[in-house]
Amino acid sequence: MAATLSVHLTYFNDSNTPQKAWHKHIKTGRTNRNSRIVNKQKVMKFGPFNRTQLNTVKALVEPEPSTCSLTRALCNIVDSGCMENALYLFEKMIQLDTYIRNTYIWNVMIRGCTNNGLFREAVDFYCRMGFEGVQGDNFTYPFVIKSCTGLLSLMEGQKVHAKLFKIGLDLDVYVSNSLIVMYAKMGYIEFAERVFREMPVRDLVSWNSMISGYVASGDGCSSLMCFYEMQALGMKPDRFSMISALGACSLEYRLHCGKEIHCQVLKCGFELDVMVQTSIIDMYGKCDMMDYAERLFDRISPRNVVAWNAMIGGYAQSSHFLESLAFLRKMQDGDKLNPDIITMINVLPSCAQLQALLEGKSVHGYAIRKGFLPHPVLETALVDMYGECGKLDMAERAYGRMTKKNLISWNAMLAAYVQNGWNNKALVLFQDIWHQPFKPDAFTFASILPAYSESATLREGKQIHGFIMKSELGTNTFILNSIVYMYAKCGDIGAAREVFDRMLHRDVISWNTIIMAYAIHGFGRFSVQLFSEMKEKGFKPNESTFVSLLSSCSISGMVEEGWEYYNSMKRDYGIDPGIEHYGCMLDLIGRTGNLELAKIFIDEISLFPTARIWGSLLTASRNNQNIELAELSARHILSLEHDNTGCYVLLSNMYAEAGRWEDVERLKCLMIKEGLEKTKGCSVVEINSRTCRFINNDRSHAETNMIYDVLDIIMRKIGEDIFVHSFTKFRPLDLRKNRANSPQKHSVRLAISFGLISTTIGSPILVRKNTRICEDCHIVAKKISEITRREIIVGDSKVFHHFRDGHCSCRDYW
């Protein structure tokens, strides 16, 4: 007795994992006696170890097996889930001639493995069965197919499917139904359809399998069509059909259909079924009808975690984030239920949207304590939550720890970078695509394109455009809109227009985007023209349309048109101006130099003035040399956003221009106290597909001497003009010498100079910089465009300046 026991126990230890041992055993059919003592935990993986049961098993087979009761015993052991005991008995049994060809006991073993999630083992058993010359029957295959489904292995599944034709089981209803489910769950819905189509007889389960199969493949419409077609053929749907059809309604947000099925549920008397109830709640939640869902939920009794999850998820999806968190609390306090992994996944988006970092962290902590991690979906939700809460380091850590990264988690990390303005990190992560087994999707591009708009060079922009055109998303309106904007921001307004013109389907956003594209390039006439075209084509302008349009009027100095559009917005389109519209109008007023009007305008705004509003006034004050108003604006801005670096810099420049050095020094100290640093100016120019980056006083470039020489020659040539012009708006000439950072060596000039010597005569030069261009560089750029007869395009952090023949598209106001 002791000897056999040890044989049994040590068996699992002849390799590192129980699974491995199990495979080996099934393949060889032999046990290995040369092993160490069993690790109990590993055995436990195969189900609860039951010593009493094992003794009973031994009593059955040793010394004299009592033949007739063996099969029944095997069945009982398998049902108890103790597969290693079942295996022991099974091995003894097939040593007897009576049992080796008994299909039934093989089926029992395969069933046991399948039901216990040992899919690989089930399939191995099936293979061994064939090897032993025992043929599978109509009972064998549903289990084997289910195991193939669990393995998500199309190859194994198709091998089994092929065998079915050979032995003539391909038309068996049970087997075919299993095949439908298998193909659908693996994502090969057309294979499932084919199996279904070729069935000579279909029963209720066949239809249900198709209805749920379509839902699994994300095609709610086909699922519902199937649901109705089945009824047209006189088949009465049962609770399984209802549950799947409700899932289809959720998928397609078909409230009407959902209500209809809800009625059917009541008529058929399924309304007390918890699963049906949960499906209905989910449907109402997805259709944004949480009041219906809650009314139903209140009547469920007893309520389980799944129902609670559906409520929590429903509230999160319909943007009722506080309710979602409240339900989590109620679930624990009221029903004394423990949240599971799905609860966590449902509640994290609510924490994210509420920026409730504390709640998000406690969910994270709970997940750790409960041992829910690692779990790819949960980890992705955590990355998303930390990203939304602005805790990029936490998001990065959560992402870095993931063992099973996939497209969605990768997208979440990208989005986190982009949302927090870490565009360069996003671009670096995006390059990872070449090492990943998955392909980017619409979400990827939607996330990454704004990062390209902000931080990429035109060349990189063209690359991503090409990449997208080669994917199946080349005609996606949403993504093409982002590409239009990206080209505009990368400096190529022509390319932006070309993409826009070639779009198959334009929506309002497409028009808004192209109007804005012309706006930031200072081509207000084109914006206005496109606005009329848009109206002619029957598109209804929305709030954003007017933001684009008013921005364009202000940037291009089209004051009258601006007021006209502003007035028509409310009058003709019933759109109340929002804070952005007020901001654009302030820019416009500021441009006219009427600061009094600007102040009055702010007072009359019906909304609370944001930092952006005061920022407009600050810019206007600066351009009109009104230090008092600038100080007032700055105070307002800093009370709202104490870390607004740009505000400090602008005011400091104004003090410098006025020679108030002690104030400059004071601001400098304030900035240091706040822990702020002036953004380092940096200009980028692309030459022969190489990106060259310059900072102020840069001497790192290989051709530095040449760059400075050329700059010197140009400056000398235009020096007299500069002297004449440089009284400019508000700068005493001698001040330039006092400035620590002389404009003589500003990064833009270095970039332009390098552009001039590295490109063919006559071709335009494109420079992009991260801060606003300064007055001096603006004048110099105009002169360079004149004397070199080149078009120079400089994109600063707000607009693109097109310098040509000594003039700039911004008409010297920016």
List interacting residues with DNA (CB under 7 A). Answer: 71-72, 75, 103-104, 107-108, 111, 137-139, 142-143, 146, 172-175, 177-178, 181, 203-206, 208-209, 212, 215, 238-241, 243-244, 247, 250, 273-276, 278-279, 282, 304-307, 309-310, 313, 317, 340-342, 345-346, 348-349, 376-377, 380-381, 384, 406, 408-409, 412
The whole-angstrom separation of Cα 84 and Cα 77 is 9
Among 66, 83, 67, CA closest to 75? 83
CA dihedral of residues 165, 167, 168, 169 (deg, nearest 10): -90
User: Coil, helix or strand for 278?
Assistant: helix
In the bound state with DNA, the residue whose beta carbon lies nearer, of 238 and 786, is: 238
Q: How far is the CB of 469 from DNA (least distance, A)?
A: 27
Q: How far is the CB of 811 from DNA (least distance, A)?
A: 47
Q: How far is the CB of 440 from DNA (least distance, A)?
A: 15
Q: How far is the CB of 310 from DNA (least distance, A)?
A: 5
Q: How far is the CB of 109 from DNA (least distance, A)?
A: 10
Among 156, 200, 147, CA closest to 176? 200
Q: How far is the CB of 316 from DNA (least distance, A)?
A: 7
In the bound state with DNA, the residue whose beta carbon lies nearer, of 49 and 174, is: 174
Q: How far is the CB of 497 from DNA (least distance, A)?
A: 36
- Under 8 Å between Cβ of 711 and 694: no
Q: How far is the CB of 347 from DNA (least distance, A)?
A: 10
Instruction: Please classify residue 305 by burial: count the beta carbons closer than 10 Å to its beta carbon, then call 0-12 exposed, 13-18 middle and 19+ buried.
Output: middle
- Under 8 Å between Cβ of 512 and 544: yes
The whole-angstrom separation of Cα 47 and Cα 70 is 21
In the bound state with DNA, the residue whose beta carbon lies nearer, of 391 and 465, is: 391
What is the token pair recorded at 645? Answer: 């670096």
Q: How far is the CB of 58 from DNA (least distance, A)?
A: 21
Return all residues near 498 (Cβ < 8 A) that are at least 6 apart.
none
The whole-angstrom separation of Cα 144 and Cα 150 is 10
Cis amide linkage into residue 764, ω under 30° from 0:
no
In the bound state with DNA, the residue whose beta carbon lies nearer, of 7 and 377, is: 377
Strand arrangement of the beta sheet that strand 807-808 belongs to = 690-695, 682-687, 765-769, 792-795, 800-804, 807-808
Instruction: Please classify residue 291 by burial: count the beta carbons closer than 10 Å to its beta carbon, then call 0-12 exposed, 13-18 middle and 19+ buried.
Output: exposed
What is the token pair recorded at 577? Answer: 């101006």
Number of other residues whose CB lies within 10 A of the CB of residue 234: 6
Q: How far is the CB of 428 from DNA (least distance, A)?
A: 21
In the bound state with DNA, the residue whose beta carbon lies nearer, of 98 and 797, is: 98
Tokens 């001039």 belong to which residue? Answer: 756
- Under 8 Å between Cβ of 779 and 557: no
Q: How far is the CB of 95 from DNA (least distance, A)?
A: 19
In the bound state with DNA, the residue whose beta carbon lies nearer, of 175 and 685, is: 175
In the bound state with DNA, the residue whose beta carbon lies nearer, of 146 and 506, is: 146
In the bound state with DNA, the residue whose beta carbon lies nearer, of 399 and 582, is: 399
In the bound state with DNA, the residue whose beta carbon lies nearer, of 238 and 260, is: 238
Among 74, 51, 68, 67, CA closest to 1? 51
The whole-angstrom separation of Cα 432 and Cα 446 is 17
In the bound state with DNA, the residue whose beta carbon lies nearer, of 323 and 698, is: 323
What is the token pair recorded at 30? Answer: 């032999």
In the bound state with DNA, the residue whose beta carbon lies nearer, of 105 and 654, is: 105
What is the H or E stretch that residue 551 is in?
Answer: helix 543-555
